[in-house]
Chains A and B, each alone.
Chain A
Amino acid sequence: MARSLRVQDITKVFPRSNRPALEKVSIALSDGEIMALVGESGSGKTTLLRIIAGLANPDSGVVEINNEVVWSLGTKTKLPEDRNIGFVFQDYALFPHLNVKNNILYGLHKMHPKSERVKRLIEIIKLTGLENLEERFPHELSGGQQQRVALARALAPKPNFILLDEPFSNLDPVRKDSLRDELRSVVKESGVSALIVTHDTRDALSVADTLAVLKEGKLEQVGSPERVYFHSTSEYTASLFGKVNRIPCQLFKGEGAPSESTDILVRPADLEITKDPSSDVHIVGKVISTNFRGDFHEVTLECKEGLPESESVTHVSIYVGPERNLKLGDTVTVRRLRR
């Protein structure tokens, strides 16, 4: 498959820092793919984005755009202005002295003849739904509209791919969900691949085709949202994406072999209440709190029974539909959903 971006073994250490900001990170972006780079603040995700853009340089590694090396140690560096990458900044960085039209036209200065620019402008305004806003200035736009202009400006010069730095952090939480879906559909329609940096895992799950999880400068896991969510390779990743239950259990290694104590990680959504305790691995617990969460109740159980070393108490969260009316003190049996 064609690769619009390949990043290989990128390492970066900032001066006066004892830990590398990035350590041998490699990712690749296929044509038309949307990848989300997820991590806590300080995980190095923005640094990686800036290195790809050319706004910062790594200490070692290789950056390839469309199979052309744009950075490697010792060889000539391609400057950001020559890489043809679209960049949507966290604060959108719209030029305050230019209206929407001229902001979008800003990156089209190399396009000739001029009629081509206008054609592209009309195309991109239609794609991003900015009709009737062309003459407005950035300060006359809402947050969502500003984001669309930033996206339009980045897409206009037909970039190799686009980079988005925390694109949702400045949005009104109420409108955020719909703007996120809108962004995804515009990017998909444009056919350009995109790399999105975000610390909000909910955004990442719903907008990306692929997730890449960064932890303290190292790549933790790469995969589809479903895979990363339900089959996290580490407890860090699992808890980064949402609530997870850690349940101690015994691991049987066949007849005669001694059993081993271990913990399993199960998401609340992976547990269901069952009436038939006999068929499956199950745990029994007493309801100690229920919290209304809208579509469901989050119910916390205190479990002793069915767990090894039963003197220790484990708290397990489950999601329960509104039809089930659980009260404090009720005892329920819970088993793992099969997926």
Chain B
Amino acid sequence: MPKGLPNINNQRFSSFWWWFSAAFIAVVLFSPLTVVLSSLFKSPGEGWELISEYLLVDYISGTLIMTFGVGLTVLFLGVGSAWIITVWDFPFKRFFSLALMMPMAIPTYVMAFGYSFVKYDIRDPLMLFIKSHWGAVIMSQCTEIFNYGLAILILSFALYPYVYIAARVGFSEISGTYIENSRLLGRGLFRSMFSVGLPLARPAIVGGLLLAVLEVMNEYGAMTYYGIETLTTGIFVSWTDLGDKDSAIRLAAVAMIFVLTIIVIERLLRGRAKFHAHRSSSNNLSGPTRTVAGSTIAFFSCFILFIVSFALPIINLSIDTFRGWEKSKLTNLIQGPLIDSFIVSSIGCIGIVIAALVISYAARLFPTIFMKFITKLCMLGYAVPGAVVAISILVYFSGMGSFLSEVLGFRSLTSLLFTLTPAGLIIAYFVRFMTPALAPIEAGMIRINSSMDEASSMLGRSSWGSFFNVHLPLLRFPLFGAMIVLFVDILKELPLTLVLRPPNIETLATTSYGLIQKEERIADGSFPALILVLTGTLAVLALHVLIRKRSVYK
């Protein structure tokens, strides 16, 4: 128990409201996922034989190639660029330190659409050339290799910022004093970074890598666009194309096992190395190296990375949009999705933040192992691919619906409720996106000294009064940050929304995907994609300002 937090909350009636609400949220969020895991213990259906014989190997190998390929590439791009920014001095360094984060604003599938020209203008002519010289068999093999390579690169462009940001934090904030010490002990900056900075930043880098790899597991749009089969695309195939619900759930279970394995590997890679952030008086390393050749290389490395991961796809999308501008009435096309997207995102984002507040305040009032467990349970959904969450929610609520109709004689009311209204979709967002809200709010809660709670209650306020008058205003920065992240996360969410949206709801993400992937109307689909990128860019910039403003406040 943290020192000072009173055990007297056990006697406080008003405190129990928080406890029950947190427990309720955890049950609602976790129970759908049990559907997937329990499917492993049921005997498989007929369709499963077909899948396990012909498709499962492809799904698993595709998933493996993509996770390893993207994992290694983002490690190279992310750590490399963070390294350059930290130890080299070169023109526009400050610009690049922010600009290299910007690909965060581009959803992975939009990045894929942004590189559509490679698919049509490079790959296809190249393959035709190969076919005319070496035949169709060689061509199909080459196509597959090309597709994998391209998909790995494109996903890495979109996902390397996770590693970049983690490595930046690791290099500067954590190890500032250590690096200074190492330099004072007579090692140069470069050797210090190798011998001290890199090992110290390892846990942070591995944490960033984990996020990137989980995004690869979650990826649906970019994979289908380049014809790559993974477990996630397999879930869709068996659910929608084959109509085989049981097999879809089984694939989802396999995907979950995959994810759990990744998390375990991350824990192992992190090892016992649990380094804590030492607050250094000078967070910035002083005197980065500057030579003409080195600075030139540094500048061009950052410049090229920025171009390929941010500028090029956006320019391409803009050209496509411009091309289609007069042909169809674009504004008509996206008006509905725009409104739907903003409504769904706002509801989801506000709801999730409120739930996260309830959980983190309950965990503060009752600092018990049980509450810690509940918090962890609520964070589990972030690791689970969207397609898996979607399947769980559907099966869970239709199962509950038929159960209720049997017991109470309702005509499958809940099942109707969850397929025809956005309720199921919103709950799915809760399951999947609780972590981006809970993590910053929890961190903010920890920073509030327990004497604040005590001072408030000594001045006559109950747990409710303290929450609204002390904790809520003190959490305004993490709250605002969490809302920005959530809004954009939900806005760009694709696989969940594709499965769970009611027929009358169309978001920017699903519109863009439908137009580009299904109907091959690149010109039309680029506009909603561009709006997604624009919103994302604003969000990343807003977060940047927010973090800087907050550090001024401290």
Give me the interface of A with B, judged by CB distance under 8 Å: 53-57, 77, 79-82, 84-87, 89-91, 93-97, 106-107, 109-110, 153-154, 157
A sample of 20 cross-chain residue pairs with beta-carbon separation below 8 angstroms, ordered by A number, consists of: A53-B454, A54-B8, A56-B7, A57-B7, A77-B8, A79-B462, A80-B6, A81-B465, A82-B460, A84-B460, A89-B451, A89-B455, A91-B449, A93-B455, A95-B456, A106-B456, A106-B461, A107-B458, A107-B460, A109-B461
Task: Give chain B residues whose Cβ lies under 8 Å from the Cβ of A77.
Answer: 8, 11
Complex contacts, B456 vs chain A, CB 8 Å: 95, 106
Q: Mark B453-489, 1 if CB is under 8 A from A, else 0.
A: 0111111111001000110011010000000000000
**Whole-angstrom distance between the alpha carbons of A90 and B8 in the complex?**
20
B residues near A54, Cβ cutoff 8 Å: 8
User: Nearest Cβ in chain A — how far from B54, in angstroms?
Assistant: 60
Closest to B11 in A: A77
The distance from the CB of B16 to the nearest CB of chain A, in whole angstroms, is 13
Cβ A89 vs Cβ B459 within 8 A: no
B472 to chain A, nearest CB (A): 10
Residue pair A55, B461 in contact (C-beta under 8 Å): no
B454 (CB) vs chain A CBs: closest residue: A55
B452 within 8 A of A: yes
B458 touching A87, Cβ below 8 Å: yes
Q: B175 to chain A: closest CB distance in Å?
A: 28
Q: Distance (Å) between the CB of B474 and the closest chain A CB?
A: 6
Tell me the nearest residue of chain B to A83, going by C-beta: B458
B455 touches A53 (CB 8 A): no
Q: Which 6 A-B pairs have the closest CB atoms?
A: A107-B459, A93-B451, A93-B455, A87-B458, A80-B457, A81-B457
Taking a contact as CB atoms under 8 Å apart, the answer to whether B454 and A97 are in contact is no
Contact B454 A89 (CB under 8 A): yes
User: Within 8 Å CB of A57, what residues of B?
Assistant: 7-8
Complex: A95 Cα to B449 Cα, angstroms: 10
Q: Which of A90, A106, A154, A157 has the most CB of B within 10 A?
A: A106
Q: Is B323 an interface residue (CB 8 A)?
A: no
> Which single member of B459, B462, B473 contacts A97 (CB below 8 Å)?
B473
Which of A82, A93, A97, A107 is packed against the most chain B CB atoms within 10 Å? A93
Q: Evaluate contact between B457 and A93: CB separation under 8 angstroms.
A: no
- B278 CB–A CB distance under 8 Å: no
Q: Does B12 lie at the interface of the complex (its beta carbon under 8 Å from any beta carbon of A)?
A: yes
Q: Contact partner of B8 among A55, A84, A85, A89, CB < 8 A?
A: A55
Give which listed residue, B4, B8, B449, B473, contacts A79 with CB less than 8 A.
B8
Chain B's nearest CB lies how many Å from the CB of A92? Answer: 8
Interface size class of B (residues with CB under 8 A): 20 to 34
Query: In angstroms, how far is the closest chain B Cβ from the Cβ of A156?
Result: 8
Q: B4, B8, B455, B470 — which one has the most chain A CB atoms within 10 A of its CB?
A: B455
Complex contacts, B452 vs chain A, CB 8 Å: 93, 95
Assembly CA distance A191 to B282 (angstroms): 49
Those of B1-18 within 8 Å (CB) of chain A:
4, 6-8, 11-12
Complex CA gap A80/B462 in Å reads: 9
Contact across chains for B451 and A91 when beta carbons are under 8 A apart: yes
Of residues A84, A86, A87, which shows the largest number of chain B Cβ atoms within 10 Å of its Cβ? A87
Q: Which residue of B lies closest to A91 (CB)?
A: B451
Q: Which residues of A contact B457 (CB under 8 A)?
A: 55, 79-81
How long is the Cα–Cα vector from A84 to B4 in the complex, in angstroms?
Answer: 20
In contact, A87 and B474 (Cβ under 8 angstroms):
no
Nearest-neighbour CB distance to chain A for B29, whole angstroms, equals 31
Chain B CB count within 10 A is highest, among A56, A77, A84, A96, for A96
CB-based contact B454/A87 at 8 Å: yes
A89-B451 Cα distance, complex, nearest whole Å: 7
5 new A-B contacts, CB < 8 A, other than A81-B458, A81-B462, A95-B456, are: A55-B458, A56-B7, A86-B458, A94-B455, A97-B476
Give the CA-CA distance A84 to B452 in the complex, in Å: 17
Residues on A with beta carbons closer than 8 Å to the beta carbon of B462: 79, 81
Neighbouring B residues of A157 by C-beta, 8 Å? 459-460
Q: Is the CB of A56 within 8 A of B6?
A: yes
**Closest B residue to A163 using CB positions:** B458
Closest residue of chain B to A159, judged by CB? Answer: B458
Q: Which residues of B contact A84 (CB under 8 A)?
A: 460
Please give, as numbers and ranges, the residues of chain B lying within 8 Å of A85 by CB-CB distance. 458
> In the complex, what distance in Å separates the CA atom of A84 from the CA atom of B6?
17
Residues of chain B within 8 A of A82, CB atoms compared: 460
**Contact A95 to B460, CB < 8 A, known contacts A55-B8, A77-B11, A106-B469:** no
Q: Which residue of B lies closest to A97 (CB)?
A: B473
A84 to B457, CA, bound (A): 10
Task: Report B527 CB to chain A, min CB distance, Å.
Answer: 42
List residues of chain A with CB within 8 A of the CB of B470.
95
A93 to chain B, nearest CB (A): 4
Q: Beyond A79-B12, A106-B459, is A93–B454 a contact (Cβ under 8 Å)?
A: yes
A57, B11: Cα distance in complex, Å: 11
- Centre residue among A56, A81, A153 by max chain B CB count within 10 A: A81
CB-CB nearest in chain B for A95: B470
- Chain B residue nearest to A106 (CB atoms) is B459
Among B461, B469, B473, contact of A81 (Cβ-Cβ < 8 Å): B461
The minimal Cβ–Cβ distance linking A157 to chain B, given in whole angstroms, is: 7
Considering only residues 201-228 of chain B, those with a C-beta below 8 Å from chain A are none
A283 to B387, CA, bound (A): 93
Q: Report Cα–Cα, A90/B454, bound state, in Å.
A: 12
Residues of B within 8 A of A97 (CB): 473-474, 476
